[in-house]
Structure 1
Amino acid sequence: MVSQAHIRTSGFNNTTRLKKLAAKLFMTTALVGTSMVVLSPVSAVAQGAASQVSAEKQFNIQAQPLANALNSFGRQAGLQISLASAVTQGLSSQSVNGSFTPSVALSRLLKGTNLSFDISPEGTVFITGEQQSTAVGEAVASDAITLDMITVTAGGFAQSVVEAPASVTVIPREELEKKPYRSLIDAVRHVEGVTMIGGDNGDISIRGMPGSGTLILVDGRRQNSTRELNPKSGNSVEDNWMPPIGAVERIEVVRGPMSSRYGSDAMGGVINIITRKVADKWTGSLGADMTVQGNSHSGNSQQGDFYLNGPLIADTLGLQVWGYKKLRDEDEIIGGFNKEDNLNGTARLWFTPTENHDFMLEAHRSRQRYWAEPGMSIKPADKEFERDYKRESYTFAHTGRWDLGTSQFSYIYDEASRDALTAGEPDRWMPSVTNHTIDGSFVAPVGESHMVSIGGQWRRQKLDIGGMRNGQLPPLPDGTPATGQLVAEVDQWALFVEDEWRVFDSFALTGGVRYDNNSIFGDQLSPRLYANWQPTENWAIKGGVATGFIAPTLKEYVPYIGNGQRGGATTWGNPELKPETSVNKEIGIYYDNLDNFTANATYFHTTYKNKIANSGSRCLNAPNGQPSNSDGCWTGADGRPMSVYFNVPEAVIQGVELAARWGITDDVALSGTYTYTKSNMKTAGIDIYGFPLGQADGLAPVATPRHVVSAKLDWQAHEDLGTYVRVNYRSKDNQGVNWGGGSKPMNESAGDLLTFDAGLSWQVNEHFTVNAAVYNITNKTNYNPDRTNSYQYIEDGRRFWLGARTSF
């Protein structure tokens, strides 16, 4: 009930002011003096990576095809292996059994193969043939990017993408540097299974799930903590909290539920941004780029970023600092992009007192500001408005390498706020959210065939509504007037355990379960079971069953919190809401000819229950004794039309994901992805205060495209010059539901779209690179300015991008 949410009112609070003052002082001290940092379950100092190589480990690797043996070695050593699949073709390994340093174990494994290896300061093992030239070595490194990437998100420890207990795509920094990277949407838009809800200004959807089901991490740390501030409850705000490209090592996209490991919000999948490790020598980069629109009514954009990384005390103390500034002009299109100004800064300090222990501190501050003027991106009759999002976070973390295994611990404090100002209106919605999060995990081999992960999490979230419709709040349950600032809190804790059982060398079974306890919604159990079989060195088959859930946000649950709708209604929280849940089944097949061709195909089927939606501006019948307006529509405590959150009983989502890469020659490669998604809801016979949900029966819970295709042709025209062309196709959306469109029809969808891109990357010298591209060459868009009352979203037409980056 409401009391469980710890709702209270408070006026001016000196303690709160002192806490905020202390936090700001801490931020300044950290940035100037101690340069603080964030832990991830996957990030470690270069010194720590070196200890991974020098410390003895237990190895149990049988003689077998070398590619399989190296996968086992990487898993048991906890190191990333980089090589081209062709290097291992036709080769077999020696057996390695016993306690050795990774260097000794790898030397024994490669004995008789004529292969050599080198270990980078960051802990990556590069394997090459003796006769390889520098150019070929560069090709190997590039090939490794797409063929043999390592992931840590799916299992909690280093594994190859094929061995991981989930469907995973890895995007390396080298690929990101070749295109505009204004937000996370730009980074993941071409990944199979990933679509955008509402176009480039919307949410990231994985496998047809809503944006709220995509958990976004940076080094394993949640970014979704600010979702309470987003009126749409999606991830469009979190997309822009991302680190600059210079700080990114790779991005891992896990498709399918991961609640068994990460809890709420990971129902559709997980996007984990892995940042670069601190180096043993000073390195850095500066980047700048701009996009010029071919259409005068679309806004131009520009951005700049920096990254600095190196030791303060050799082998003991390391520092990382990064930041960016992003600007975009306002569109002259109703419903288009607002004027935008984003700023981000982060500092990390790494302390490694011994080779087996890393301590990390981080301070982070970012701000997103948006403006809209009448007649520009909003209608001439609308009022000018400004939206200002701010976020600060501080992290302490520890990584320990013990005889039994590896431990991770972190404490994260973050606070964020949203200030919404509308010209001529005294009411201001200024919510803020504060989060305290403690995470811990331990990963260890057990016996010769088990890798066990255990862990837990505690989180406390407080939502302060701040000035929400002052003087118009309903009284509290005891009759006390609700004045001042309304506050709601929720606590939750969780425990999880997972085991990868290597039944035999080519077959692994991963099982896990997570128990979540929420102070409002109670208990939630999220199990998963996943199998991975590699019958030959060319083929792999994997699949399983996983469950997911999304707990309602405080603004969706607490009845005293109102969220304004564009049609003039206010949606109030509903304490009767249930968490969203899902059961996902998938099976995938992977092929690698160990030369120049890889491909994978996955089928998934999801049963999705209790989707949370709201009635928007549709007219609801007032219950007995409740007020209504002259149109007979139920009105809320603020005198505006009443809107409610509710659960949609059930939906079924299924689809197919395809991806392939063909190295046609040493210089030419063709790659592509395809996603098919079909979904429908079961709402027949359901009525919400006179709003018949039966109209939505058979429609999609989220308006995602039925078909999405992306194909890219890369040509390395010269040693220093790479070019590409890309074709993108998005079919007409699945018939999505316009829940709250007033008099608009419920079954609306956007049309199909075919676009073409072309670009190049010129390595001017060792330290300087120039990138350029033309996007949407044929200037194709779906937007019709005469249909502003219809469902459509804004997309940029033809545009020209130029970027430059220098590094040292």
Structure 2
Amino acid sequence: MNTSLSHSGWRLSTACLALSTVIPIAYAQPKPDNAVSQLQHVVVTASGFEQLVEDAPASISVIPREELQKKAYRDVTDALRDVPGVVITGGGSSSDISIRGMAAGYTLILIDGKRVNSRETRPNSDNAGIEQGWMPPIEAIDRIEVVRGPMSSLYGSEAMGGVINIITRKVADTWTGSLRTEATLQQHSDSGNSYQGNFYVAGPIKENRLGVQISGQKTRRNEDDFLQGFSKQDTQSGTIKFTLTPSQNHDLIAEVGRTEQKRISTPGHTMALETCGRNGCTPNEASESHYTRDSYALTHKGRYGNLQSESFIQQDRNKNPGRNMFIKNTELNSQWNTLLGDHHVTFGAQYLSEKLEDHGNQYKPEVSDLSRYQWAAYAEDEWEIHPSFSLTTGLRLTHDENYGNHWTPRLYGVWHANDELSVKAGVSTGFKAPSLRAAVADWGQITGGGGVPAVIVGNPNLKPEKSISQEIGFIWDNRENLNLGLTFFNTQFKDKISEVRRCTDPDGLATCHVVPGDQGYKFISDRVNVDKAVMRGIEAVASWSITDDLQLSSNYTFTHSKQKSGDFAGRPLNKMPKHMFNSTLDWDYSPELNVWTRVNFRGKSSDYLSRTAMREGTPSFTFVDMGLGYKISKHTNVGVGIYNVFDKRVTTETHEAVYDGRRYWAQLTMGF
């Protein structure tokens, strides 16, 4: 049995408990019912039941539907750029989402509380941006909730960095729909233009009994005309959802969806014409990747007086036919919540099954099918000790087929010191089980890029990675026009899985062997738990309604990481900007016209650990975007914008990533 609490965690836990005994004395007055601010958004991800952001036991940000419609967000990734603590890593075709300095693989993505994870079909983190391609179209989204910090007590493995929960729109009581088309045209001819269309339609088939919701999208990004730029990308998706209400206290929701993504890189464009080595040059061939995701889900929502439940079964099937990989994930989850006096209790159980078929085993090709399961039971209690103070305690037991039992506790306090000031503090734990291939002794994963191959050998003695995070935050809201927030966080990360080289040929020749007589490799790596690290930082947010029509929203994030063990002890861990600043100015010139501008600054990234060696960080950059939206009629609006106004070019030569230069965007949305 493993536990994730450290001495520092216990100190903050004790502080939360001590705080609960003195807070009632300092309480001034209850919050007024008519208070209106950004903190009044309702969320579910932090605790499993609906509550206001200011009451939620976590650092949480919300992007509501009004903001998604008002601003020129092209997709979910674009919307997340303005969230404090969130970094969109990479560039070109390989962007990904990181939270609070943790790598992207530690961010759990949910759609309506259900997992989205196809990373096992990309074992070497190739095409990292694929995960975002499974997201629903903007027109189908009600809101996006982002929890910063570990949430494994509710959601289990992968939720070490944080959770992104995309909540889709509910089936309406009357028929409604929208069609959105948009285009982005590049100023530079060597960058590819992009086009997108998506739709949403929903309504009742039988009033108060049966409803349907259908959404879909199709996108295209043309290939860049320079090395390591954006590949040609095509995505198409469709989802249909039926909602049945057989009685007043029961809802049944059946959902089926399919998404396809294709990427093509061609020689002379994003690929070199040929690859040259010791024995001469060989012409390159076009590289095509094809990914599909089929998902099926059945959900039941029940209301039994003071007791509410939500249970579902979901299965998603992810294919990477180009590499002959297929994974089937099955999830069963049942979550219940109820009020017991001053206690709001959430409890539930979960079962997860993974079945992988991969014919790329370089060590023992006859081993191609891998599987595992895990089950979990969890409970959380939000205790309203005083009208001004609540204390949340949570505990989850996860039993993994390969790693046995793992306990993940959580303790979090929320204190409304007075009508304007709130304080949040807590300790959260996280863990992440090794990937399926990583823990199999008979598995050799191909790596090393083109040319002479290399291999990473699995290790059955691996342990899950673990973290413990402490945070304290202060939120001040004058309930009129100004909201300020300041959060300090500290995360201790241990048992990080890293690579250790067993053999390396200095000339890149195939002289390393896993077993005598194999094909030979330029290097062989083993996976081991060796590293400890610490990540800490500050998140500051401000929202100011300068006038009734002019709104300024800004946030700043400082992130610092340090390896505490291993060959690079004392050096940074991940490639993250130390300083990050976002600011958006919105002007409602009239009821029909909105003008906006935003600034995204990313400071110089720290040096970072890349597999088995340290690499130098990359320079800072700033992007400025601006645009406007105009409501032509009740159901029709248009938007235009200029992205990267000052044409800052970010390339692989300087930043190890590609971001587009100046480009022009336009969209038309029609609804009914």
Q: Given the two structures, how large is their TM-score scaled by the length of structure 2?
A: 0.90
Which one has a larger percent helix, Structure 1 or Structure 2? Answer: 1
Would the aligned equivalents of 1:565 and 1:571 in 2 still touch at CA under 8 Å? no
Which residue of 452, 458, 467 maps to 1:582? 467
**Correspondence list, 1:231-242, <5 A:** 231-232=124-125, 236-242=129-135
Structure 1: which amino acid aligns with 2:428? A
Would the aligned equivalents of 2:513 and 2:520 in 1 still touch at CA under 8 Å? no
**Correspondence list, 1:409-808, <5 A:** 409-420=311-322, 429-447=323-341, 449-465=342-358, 467-468=359-360, 473-474=363-364, 482-483=365-366, 486-559=368-441, 560-566=443-449, 568-614=453-499, 620=503, 633=512, 637-641=518-522, 642-684=524-566, 694=567, 696-739=568-611, 746-783=614-651, 787=653, 792-808=656-672
Would the aligned equivalents of 2:175 and 2:201 in 1 still touch at CA under 8 Å? yes
Deviation at 1:473, TM superposition (A): 4.4
Whole-angstrom CA distance in 2 between matches of 1:387 and 1:536: 56
Whole-angstrom CA distance in 2 between matches of 1:224 and 1:234: 14
Deviation at 1:734, TM superposition (A): 1.4
Provide runs of 4+ in structure 1 moved above 6 Å. Answer: 64-67
RMSD of equivalent CA atoms: 2.2
SS at match of 2:105: helix
Whole-angstrom CA distance in 2 between matches of 1:633 and 1:754: 45
Would the aligned equivalents of 2:650 and 2:660 in 1 still touch at CA under 8 Å? no
Partner of 1:32: none
Deviations 1:648-672 (A, max 9, x none): 4200100000111111111111110
**What percent identity do the matched residue pairs reach?**
39
Deviations 1:66-94 (A, max 9, x none): 97364xxxxxxxxxxxx762xxxxxxxxx
Would the aligned equivalents of 1:193 and 1:255 in 2 still touch at CA under 8 Å? yes
Deviations 1:238-257 (A, max 9, x none): 21101111110000000000
Change in 2 beyond 3 A, CA 1:663/1:762: same
Would the aligned equivalents of 1:197 and 1:702 in 2 still touch at CA under 8 Å? no
Unaligned runs of 5+ in 1: 1-63, 71-82, 86-143, 421-428, 475-481, 623-627, 685-693
Would the aligned equivalents of 1:308 and 1:321 in 2 still touch at CA under 8 Å? yes
Deviations 1:559-593 (A, max 9, x none): 42514232632223222222111000000000101
Structure 2: which amino acid aligns with 1:153? T
Deviation at 1:523, TM superposition (A): 1.3
Deviation at 1:747, TM superposition (A): 2.6
Whole-angstrom CA distance in 1 between matches of 2:72 and 2:437: 34
SS at match of 1:199: coil
1:68 and 2:31 equivalent?
yes
Structure 2: which amino acid aligns with 1:672? S
Whole-angstrom CA distance in 2 between matches of 1:455 and 1:310: 32
Structure 2: which amino acid aligns with 1:799? R
SS at match of 2:571: coil
Partner of 1:351: 244
Change in 2 beyond 3 A, CA 1:228/1:258: farther
Whole-angstrom CA distance in 1 between matches of 2:616 and 2:495: 22
Whole-angstrom CA distance in 1 between matches of 2:499 and 2:648: 33
Change in 2 beyond 3 A, CA 1:705/1:489: same
Partner of 1:299: 192
Deviation at 1:182, TM superposition (A): 4.7
Partner of 1:160: 52
Change in 2 beyond 3 A, CA 1:359/1:227: same
Structure 1: which amino acid aligns with 2:585? L
Would the aligned equivalents of 1:227 and 1:234 in 2 still touch at CA under 8 Å? no
Would the aligned equivalents of 1:367 and 1:391 in 2 still touch at CA under 8 Å? yes
Partner of 2:23: none
Deviation at 1:234, TM superposition (A): 9.1
Would the aligned equivalents of 1:563 and 1:572 in 2 still touch at CA under 8 Å? no
SS at match of 2:271: coil
Would the aligned equivalents of 2:644 and 2:663 in 1 still touch at CA under 8 Å? yes
SS at match of 1:260: helix
Unaligned runs of 5+ in 2: 1-26, 275-283
**Correspondence list, 1:187-266, <5 A:** 187-199=79-91, 201-229=94-122, 231-232=124-125, 236-266=129-159
Deviation at 1:719, TM superposition (A): 1.8
Deviations 1:333-383 (A, max 9, x none): 211111100011100011101110001101111111111101211222243
Q: Which has the larger radius of gyration?
A: 1
Would the aligned equivalents of 1:318 and 1:349 in 2 still touch at CA under 8 Å? yes
Whole-angstrom CA distance in 2 between matches of 1:221 and 1:678: 31
Deviations 1:657-696 (A, max 9, x none): 0111111111111110111000011234xxxxxxxxx2x3
Deviations 1:87-112 (A, max 9, x none): xxxxxxxxxxxxxxxxxxxxxxxxxx
Whole-angstrom CA distance in 2 between matches of 1:66 and 1:407: 33
Whole-angstrom CA distance in 2 between matches of 1:614 and 1:318: 51
Whole-angstrom CA distance in 2 between matches of 1:456 and 1:648: 32
Deviations 1:355-413 (A, max 9, x none): 10001101111111111101211222243111110111111110000023101111111
Partner of 1:277: 170
SS at match of 1:540: strand
SS at match of 1:451: strand
Structure 1: which amino acid aligns with 2:598? R
SS at match of 1:266: coil
SS at match of 1:718: coil
Would the aligned equivalents of 1:227 and 1:233 in 2 still touch at CA under 8 Å? no
Deviation at 1:639, TM superposition (A): 2.6
Structure 1: which amino acid aligns with 2:497? I
Would the aligned equivalents of 2:502 and 2:526 in 1 still touch at CA under 8 Å? no
Partner of 2:7: none
Deviation at 1:781, TM superposition (A): 2.3
Whole-angstrom CA distance in 2 between matches of 1:311 and 1:198: 43
Whole-angstrom CA distance in 1 between matches of 2:89 and 2:530: 19
Deviations 1:156-175 (A, max 9, x none): 11111110000000001222
Whole-angstrom CA distance in 1 between matches of 2:510 and 2:326: 35
Change in 2 beyond 3 A, CA 1:667/1:557: same
**Equivalences, count:** 629
Change in 2 beyond 3 A, CA 1:468/1:389: same
Structure 1: which amino acid aligns with 2:435? T
Deviation at 1:179, TM superposition (A): 4.7
Change in 2 beyond 3 A, CA 1:561/1:459: farther
Whole-angstrom CA distance in 2 between matches of 1:620 and 1:176: 51
Which residue of 169, 181, 186 maps to 1:288? 181
Which one has a larger percent strand, Structure 1 or Structure 2? Answer: 2
Which residue of 288, 301, 304 maps to 1:402? 304
Whole-angstrom CA distance in 2 between matches of 1:235 and 1:453: 34
Whole-angstrom CA distance in 2 between matches of 1:621 and 1:454: 50
Structure 1: which amino acid aligns with 2:334? G
Would the aligned equivalents of 1:211 and 1:234 in 2 still touch at CA under 8 Å? no
Partner of 1:388: 290
